[in-house]
Amino acid sequence: MATINDNYLKLPGSYLFAEIARRVAAFKEANPDADIIRLGIGDVTQPLPPACIEAMHKAVDEMANADTFRGYGPEQGYSFLTEAIIEHNYKARGIEIGTDEIFISDGSKSDCGNIQEIFGEDNKVAITDPVYPVYLDTNVMAGRTGTLNEDGHFEGVTYLPCDASNNFAPELPQERVDMIYLCCPNNPTGTTLSREELTKWVNYAKENESVILFDAAYAAYITEEDVPRSIYEIEGAKDVAIEFRSFSKTAGFTGTRCGYTIIPKTVKGRAKDGSLVEFNKLWNRRHTTKFNGTAYIVQRGAAAIYTEEGQKQVKETIAYYMENARIIREGLQAAGIEAYGGVNAPYIWLKTPNDMPSWDFFDKLLTEVNIVGTPGAGFGPCGEGYFRLTAFGNRENTVRAVERIKNKLHF
């Protein structure tokens, strides 16, 4: 009989958002007339920018003509997209990235999960707590952790607590680690790391020969000048950091799927024989072996983001969501609820009133005011006592949700 990967058995029974969906479905079945407002899963509601739609229509027409038809494309991405990304997101900020240091994919979630395949199983992993589940779960699946303890922590993982007491900024680990996952702007807390704080992490990585896995999926939402849009704005980061970016929340590509990963050739790991090996080379091998490339039509749509009209449209969409974030953040504060984030990110991280357990608060919101959010405990033990709301709903529902919380939710 075939055997299984026992590491999967270490994971909790269900993925966080699957459990949320299960509870909402059960409530809806019992209360079919309930008017549920969903501010839980961070899915967008506004349509793709018109510039992207126009570019994708043209690409579809190309696929209908033998002279312009495209079959397999370059696994690393078409140059019309990679060069536009480099020009607008990096060169414009004084960062030099080579065309062979960028890899187009079907989204940063996939890359954040798959990147651990090119690291040795004996690497020590550090993650912030709370944390986006994919970072931890994929390392559990790979066998890089021990079992799950009663306190909600996996053995063999270095947790970096983030809560109001440290302004949601993780402190450097007391022990040496090899792989460091940082997300900025952060999901779920909606908070950021300043230039000074990121510099500390880059220096730590250089001193300890560690690699920072930097998720910058929400970089386009940053409004404050002291928050770097890319980790490569920090001196020395190109020697120790891999960066993940996404079009999902930037331009509404959650269902269209497109993202990219930057791996400078100067980021290296050590082989068992002691030699240094470029992670870029390993990822390229993995990418070309397991991936046939993001669809041409999708890449044309993504490239349209970088046109003058596309940039204007994307900024308008981001401004729409950030206005939602302001409405939620200020509405919660007016209701006497502590709220964080929502300034440089489309997430609001609130402190549950009266130290209520986060899943209890989830049930209270759902049953009393028919609002769906995300329990902080689902992001890790330090998320207990907190709760995430997203700004990705439409304006009408966002306003209605805040009014319900202010006027109908009682403690």
- pLDDT tens, position by position, 292-328: 999 999 999 999 999 999 999 999 999 999 999 999 9
- Token representation of residue 60: 């579809």
For residue 172, being part of any structural domain is answered with yes
Query: The domain spanning residue 257 has which CATH number?
Result: 3.40.640.10
The answer on pLDDT for 37 being more than 90 is yes
Per-residue pLDDT, averaged over 381-399, amounts to 96
Residues 66 and 175 in one domain: yes
For residue 29, being part of any structural domain is answered with yes
- Contact present, 231 and 216 (Cβ < 8 Å): yes
Q: What amino acid occupies position 288?
A: T
Residues 284 and 330 in one domain: no
What's the CA gap between 100 and 6, in Å, rounded? 37
pLDDT at 206: 98
SS3 201: helix
For residue 58, being part of any structural domain is answered with yes
pLDDT in tens, 329-370: 999 999 999 999 999 999 999 999 999 999 999 999 999 999
For residue 247, being part of any structural domain is answered with yes
The answer on pLDDT for 267 being more than 80 is yes
> Per-residue DSSP letters for 322-385?
HHHHHHHHHHHHHTT--EEE-SSSSEEEEEPGGG--HHHHHHHHHHHH-EE-EEGGGG-GGGTT
For residue 158, being part of any structural domain is answered with yes
Residues 258 and 330 in one domain: no
pLDDT in tens, 109-139: 999 999 999 999 999 999 999 999 999 999 9
Residue at which a domain ends, from 308, 326, 345: 308
- Token representation of residue 145: 């952790």
Query: The domain spanning residue 364 has which CATH number?
Result: 3.90.1150.10
Residues 235 and 266 in one domain: yes
Phi/psi class of residue 94: alpha, beta or left (left: φ > 0; alpha: ψ in -120 to 50)? left
Residues 16 and 72 in one domain: no
What's the CA gap between 245 and 236, in Å, rounded? 20
- Token representation of residue 89: 């997101």
For residue 241, being part of any structural domain is answered with yes
Residue at which a domain ends, from 264, 284, 308: 308
Bridge-partner residues for 259, per DSSP? 105, 246
Residues 266 and 321 in one domain: no
The answer on pLDDT for 14 being more than 80 is no
For residue 253, being part of any structural domain is answered with yes
Domain span holding position 188: 53-308
Residues 234 and 353 in one domain: no
Residues 185 and 224 in one domain: yes
Kindly tell me the sign of the dihedral angle through the C-alpha atoms of 52, 260, 12, 340: negative
Kindly tell me the sign of the dihedral angle through the C-alpha atoms of 159, 187, 110, 221: negative
SS3 86: helix
Confidence of residue 42 (pLDDT cuts 50, 70, 90): confident
Residue at which a domain ends, from 308, 341, 375: 308
φ, ψ for residue 213 (rounded to 5)? -100, 100
Per-residue pLDDT, averaged over 92-116, amounts to 97
The answer on pLDDT for 411 being more than 90 is no
pLDDT at 108: 95
What's the CA gap between 62 and 247, in Å, rounded? 23
- Contact present, 322 and 391 (Cβ < 8 Å): yes
Residues 216 and 362 in one domain: no
- Token representation of residue 48: 């793709």
What's the CA gap between 273 and 271, in Å, rounded? 5
Mean pLDDT computed over every residue of the chain = 96
Per-residue pLDDT, averaged over 186-210, amounts to 97
pLDDT at 281: 98
- Domains: count for the chain: 2
pLDDT at 12: 84
In 3D, which of 197, 201, 226, 251 has the Cα closest to residue 88?
Answer: 251
Confidence of residue 17 (pLDDT cuts 50, 70, 90): confident
Q: Where are the alpha helices (DSSP H) in 34-117?
A: 50-63, 79-85, 108-114
For residue 1, being part of any structural domain is answered with no
pLDDT at 19: 86
Per-residue pLDDT, averaged over 378-395, amounts to 96
- Token representation of residue 402: 């805040």
Phi/psi class of residue 173: alpha, beta or left (left: φ > 0; alpha: ψ in -120 to 50)? beta
pLDDT at 73: 96
Residues 74 and 153 in one domain: yes
Residues 262 and 362 in one domain: no
Residues 179 and 30 in one domain: no
The answer on pLDDT for 41 being more than 90 is no
